[in-house]
Structure 1
Amino acid sequence: MANFNLSLQIEDVNVLSDAVRTWCRHNHATPTEQSMQLLCSAAVDLYNQGHRTREELVTLLITRFDSPDSLKVNAPSSTSHH
């Protein structure tokens, strides 16, 4: 789970939330509590890794989660080991 930085500025929060909303629009996904928790956590992790622009975050979220199905708890991911 993400380590939420409480010192984020409103501009940073806006970039993060816009990236998550853009991912939903791109994937024609209806937000659920579970999907939003996962996407927001991933967005904060990426932000903390130095990806600070909306464009970077959106691209990385779309790459990491290529469809709404990829957000399901038991969905295979690129980090799965076979």
Structure 2
Amino acid sequence: MANFNLSHKIDDVDVLSDAVRTWYRYNHAAPTEQSMQLLCSAAVDLYNQGHRTSEELVTLLIVKFDSLHSLKVNSPSSASHH
């Protein structure tokens, strides 16, 4: 039987969610579905690149996305007609 150490996985999730929550507090912004998806995806990407602490992650998120407006996606949806 495989031995999965779930406490490490929970710790990883805590680091990621803390970084995202801190980004929102820093920017005095309320989460939206779109912004949450983008920030969480970016946080996971950064984590997978080796940035393992909440401090590292939030710093990089703030540099990459300097405001809530920087999270807006301006590309047309797949439902739009050309």
Please confirm whether the aligned pair reaches a TM-score higher than 0.5, indicating the same fold: yes
More helix by share: 2
Separation of aligned partners in 1, 2:38 and 2:53: 19
Moved more, 7-16 or 51-60: 7-16
Percent identical: 80
Moved over 4 A (4+): none
Pairs aligned (count): 69
| Structure 1: 5+ residue stretches without partners | 1-6, 76-82
Alignment RMSD (CA, Å): 1.6
Larger radius of gyration: 2
| Structure 2: 5+ residue stretches without partners | 1-5, 76-82
Residues 53-81 of structure 1 show CA distances to partners (whole Å, capped at 9, x for unaligned) of: 00000000000000000000029xxxxxx
Give me the TM-score of the superposition, normalised by structure 2.
0.80
Give me the TM-score of the superposition, normalised by structure 1.
0.80
